[in-house]
Amino acid sequence: MTASTSSNKNPAVLAADPDWWRGAVIYQIYPRSYLDSNGDGIGDLPGITTKLPYIAELGADAIWISPFMKSPMDDFGYDVSDYEDVDPMFGTLDDFKELVEKAHAQGLRVLIDLVISHTSDQHAWFKESRQDRTNPKADWYVWADAKDDGNPPNNWLSVFGGSSWQWDTRRNQYYLHNFLRSQPDLNFHNEEVQEAVLNAARFWLDIGVDGFRLDTANFYFHDKELRSNPGRKPEEESVSTPKTNPYGYQVHVYDKTRPENIAFLTKLRAVMDEYKDTTMVGEIGADEDPHQIIADYTAGHDRLHMAYSFDLLAGDQTAAHIREKVSNLEATINDGWASWAMSNHDVIRVVSRLGAGFEKREASSVLLAVVASLRGSPCLYQGEELGFEEANVAFEDLQDPYGIEFWPNFKGRDGCRTPMAWETTAPNGGFSTGKPWLPVDARHLANAVSVQENDPASALHRARTFLKWRRQHPALIKGDMKFLQLESDVLGFTRTLGEDSVLCVFNLSDQEKTVSLTGQGVTEALEGHGFEFAMDGKVITLPAWQAGFLKLDA
């Protein structure tokens, strides 16, 4: 099968559209925790396949599946040991092919995580590379001699704690690992490495995937001279680095976001362009000027299609916070494109970041509508449509090496990774007939899919109603955006595409708000989106945690 003839997409369902990804609703699946089909306590690919109708009914346009390639699972799949196979715990390659075929039949595109900045130390490439300094893959990873005093070559730190250099007795050298020591970094300065990972992408594109979420897309290259990073004591905790982690005490100018990254992304984009209607969204983990980096990485038509922003993955999600973060990126991004998310597999679930005293069930629905109304492509994380809170995971149940390392001040990522709750009366919430790899949270059981299916006012029904209504308004998918300055706790902006212009207003508080829209060109209130508000002339009244959508003069 070649790129030019590869076609596992169902043309009757998936109309040809090279621009489909702009504004597409992407539903993120963490496969370990979605649905277990064989009772081993770990979610798998056949489990996902059985739930594709649920995802299509939700109103998603695509799914993004977190890593399922072969791996020793030190970092739960983000440590790949074979780029061209499925880990047996998730099923087989045939299972994945069936998933792609059935997703396309449901009208869903399929994106998968491509983790190429590093591999597992169990990958055949690294096993060969570490044997000596002369083998064919000796330069496939980042190796360096010790300083005269035996210390590592520079001060670079691992995201997961400690030095990012690990001594290896086979070569009597250090190797670089930006994450776990069992995740050695590939040497992208080597052209053979670049071609090898491009071939890995081709392998999955030939199967029929519609694109990739690129993990740590700005970590590919390192400074050839191995210069030490300058220091900086962080003033506040970031989404990716808690205050307890000294990684945030450096300005990471030499160990990531190097200028060579963009040149490689043009090569990867050229591969993507060999295949019809594909896309890639890059995760940009940058502490310094992230908006400019996102703009640079998505500029033109030869780099990333879109970049995954961390701006809304931290903070309390107030109207002021969202307006500031999004408007700052909008002012920078020019012809680039963002992908917005408020929750994912690495951060505390959004409703648990709101603080005490808020009605989280109501808040979850309006926050989902916010992220799906911004200019960009929204990513919704499994359980977000159900209003799930961060799960409570006891220390003895923790699986995440990051959480174990920084306990108790930082509890890691397990709280957002616990299994989905499908049936409130079934064992383990219908996730598995065996013992789940992480416990199912009791609060999730009370809000399981089966419960919400029978409640027309549930977060699930409101998510379905809104996402389907959104499809009727091209401005909410691909339109331009302009923020308004409204009452405190009220977020407002317009989306405009041609003759379609919509004013979006969100009350992000537990108090009723009255807002004057005089001078905004409002012609009528739009209906069918599932939210409640009252309109009297040019004045609207929004109950707590509600939203309004209004038609504007073109």
CA gap 481, 461 in Å, rounded? 27
* CB-count burial class (<10 Å; 0-12, 13-18, 19+) for 92: middle
Q: How far apart are CA 516 and CA 535, in angstroms?
A: 10
Nearest to 103 by CA among 45, 36, 30: 45
C-alpha dist (Å) from residue 489 to 251, 510, 526: 34, 9, 22
Say if CB 531 and CB 546 are below 8 A apart: yes
**Type of residue numbered 271:** V
Report how far residue 51's alpha carbon sits from residue 103's, in angstroms, rounded to the nearest whole number.
10
41 and 5 in contact (C-beta within 8 Å)? Answer: no
Residues 158 and 388: their CA atoms lie apart, in Å, by: 31
One of 19, 132, 195, 274 is an active-site residue; which one? Answer: 274
Q: If DSSP codes are grouped into helix, strand and coil, which group holds residue 364?
A: helix
Question: Is residue 80 a contact partner of residue 72, using CB atoms and an 8 Å limit?
Answer: no
Query: Residue 291 corresponds to which tokens in the numbers above?
Result: 């908006």
Catalytic (active site) residue 274: yes
Q: CB–CB of 64/111 below 8 Å?
A: yes
Distance CA 422, CA 428 (A): 9
Quick check: helix, strand or coil at residue 38? Answer: coil
Spot the catalytic one: 36, 95, 113, 215: 215
At residue 249, what are phi and psi to the nearest 5 degrees?
A: -90, 5
DSSP state of 250: B
Handedness of CA 299, 303, 309, 310 (dihedral sign): negative
Q: Any catalytic annotation for residue 206? A: no
d(CA 51, CA 391): 22
| Listed residue (402, 119, 399) closest to 247, CA to CA | 402
Tell me the three state secondary structure of residue 360: helix
- Residues 6 or more apart whose CB falls under 8 angstroms from that of 536 comprise none
Identify the residue whose tokens are 């209130």. 525
Q: Which helix (H) or strand (E) segment is 369 a member of?
A: helix 360-373
Do the beta carbons of residue 231 and residue 241 sit within 8 Å? no
Query: Quick one: which of 405, 407, 410, 449 has its CA closest to 426?
Result: 449
Catalytic (active-site) positions: 215, 274
